[in-house]
Chains A and B, each alone.
Chain A
Amino acid sequence: MFTKTSPALDLVYFLVFAAAVLTMPIWLAPIGAGYPDLLQKFAIFGLFATGFNILFGLTGYLSFGHAAFLGVGSYTAVWSFKLLGMNPIPAAVLAVVASGVFALAIGYVSLRRSGIYFSILTLAFAQMSYNLAYSVLTPITNGETGLRVLESDPRILDGGGATDGPLISNLFGIEMTGYAGFYFCAVVLLIGFFIAQRIFRSPFGIMLRAVKTNQNRMTYTGLNPRPYTLAAFVISGMYAGLAGALMCITDPLAGAERMQWTASGEVVLMTILGGAGTLLGPIFGAALIKYFENIFSAFNEQTLHEIFGFLPDFLEAPVVAVSGLFVGEGWHLTLGVLFMLIVIFLPGGLMEGFARIGRVLKRSSNKSEKSGSATAPAE
């Protein structure tokens, strides 16, 4: 694995990825995913999962509380809109700083334990943040209603006061909705991906993988695993905060439900589904899950009847009834089943699946070559 990396290869890898991301509106259109709202989600959750992967994929520490950082990023972004103005850049920067500080505090405490205990500690902190955001922190979070930008907010950089249109984040006049919003998110995702790629190839990255493999050997090799893990935790918290800010940049509303532990579970799911520890896997997993959520959940009985219309009637009804469980409202069920199947049969995620298929193909082509050459000397 290591011997194959080189700066040139990585550049190609990055450029191909960038081209694929930026042309998503075109090549995803045929499968019904080519509209900006969904594409924004691909980019945002891709970024979230990429960050989560730096912690979980490299160090193996399973955090069940990353949604808290998403929430902190969101609230910070909206407050930046309220106080400073609708420019997304300060919002994103402040969100990264705030979530980084928050992650430093939670990580410092949680990383005193490992394994399940670490998972439960992070979960406990996230639940505390969530509960507090709903209750006593209402002055900051606006509780159940969610925090939004008001006409009466100061917005110092914008000059404040009333505006003509609705309050939408804008980058020097370009409104961050629709395709403009997507491209902003996509560029942020690319920056995030680039940094993650560098981390994967760096001495720091290999130290994180050492943390996952054998902490005992690490300490007796003169390395202190704690600051390495903490750094990974903070970095991944910053990614989550940035993703939270992007959510508010495309739609300036922050709600506490973003911090719920099911949201933390979702990013775990994305990472595992795509393939923890791989660069592309988590982004792929995130896109897949969001695709399922948006497209699959739009299916209803009518569309199913159309799909299975070719079946004879006595078959069509039960098939539609059963598959109806898995679409529409029931897409979570599909997700749960898929998730279990992945953990059971393909713990490396879809990326491992692709690698396996690739190996099988390679082997079968090798075999045919070998059998061809082997017959010759036998003569």
Chain B
Amino acid sequence: MEILRVEGVNKSFGGLRALNNVNFSVEEGDVHAIIGPNGAGKSTFLNCMIGRLAPDTGSVMFGDISLTGMKPYEINQVGVSRVFQTPEIFTDLSLWENIMIPTMAKRDGVFALHAFKRLDQDKEILDKSMHMLEEVGLADKRTVIAGSLSRGDKRRLELAMCLSQDPKLLLLDEPTAGMSRADTNNTIDLLKRIGDRSITKVVIEHDMHVVFSLANKVTVLAQGAIIAEGKPEDIKGDPRVQEAYLGGAHL
């Protein structure tokens, strides 16, 4: 079943056409990678899906909800979470608090004025967030201030924050950018592990190692247009992809 459907999306910055009539759909349960050379429009594409940028034309449908024109927090509330290229976490707060916030957002909505409730008495939130920390292996660091974590742990925390909301769709923007090989592998393992939860994922990625160990479907973007789509094995061998992406060299 289709979970996300992008139709006829165009986006220009001044005279530069960043996205050219992009049609794209994601099947439920898939790990769908979007790859492409630098400047292919990957980030613009993601930003159009998540409400950070408004596409000039076209529609983004999530199930039967139209995401175009929705605010980022509204998009999140319908079940789409996003992981950023550089982990976006609450650096001044403890790890536990970092997880509690999305947990509460999921339960209480966009805004709730619980100014007189005690958070340390809210068993549901405490347990859920603690459980999530355990799942990603950060439970023993729960009182640590998030800003002091290593980059790999920050990424793990951000993932945990997204997962604590049980999203239907998870968008990952280069989740292993700037990571050491060990951290990259850890992140891949983690992503595979949460794959069991049947969360649909869209991954934008540079690193082919990550793409081929995670994705079961790949879309190739070049100069703002989709040039190929299919299973990873097919994409590997596609000459058009090699031409656009690698300048002809073999993968």
Contact = CB atoms under 8 A, between A and B. Distances in A.
Query: Does a CB–CB distance below 8 Å link A and B in the complex?
Result: yes
A188 to B, nearest CB: 18
A219 B72 contact: yes
Interface stretch (B32-40, B53-61, B116-124): B116-124
Contact of B76 (A198, A212, A222): A222
A215 to B, nearest CB: 10
A191 B117 CA distance: 16
B96 A214 contact: no
Given A221-B102, A222-B106, A224-B71, A203 B122 contact: yes
Contact of A198 (B89, B93, B116): B116
Given A7-B121, A203-B122, 7 more contacts: A1-B143, A203-B114, A206-B100, A219-B71, A220-B76, A221-B102, A222-B77
Interface of B: 50, 71-74, 76-77, 81-82, 84, 88-94, 96-97, 100-102, 104-106, 108-122, 125, 142-143, 161, 165
B119 A223 contact: no
A5 interface: yes
A226 to B, nearest CB: 8
A275 B106 CA distance: 33
A202 B117 contact: yes
A348 B120 CA distance: 25
Interface in A193-233: 198-199, 201-207, 209-210, 212-214, 216-224, 227-228, 231
B88 A214 contact: yes
8 contacts: A2-B94, A199-B116, A202-B115, A203-B112, A204-B112, A207-B101, A221-B101, A231-B113
Interface of A: 1-3, 5-7, 198-199, 201-207, 209-210, 212-214, 216-224, 227-228, 231, 235
B88 A210 contact: no
Contacts of B91: 213-214
A217 B88 contact: yes
Nearest to B119: A203
B90 A224 contact: no
A2 B120 contact: yes
A223 B108 CA distance: 9
Contacts of B120: 2, 5-7, 201
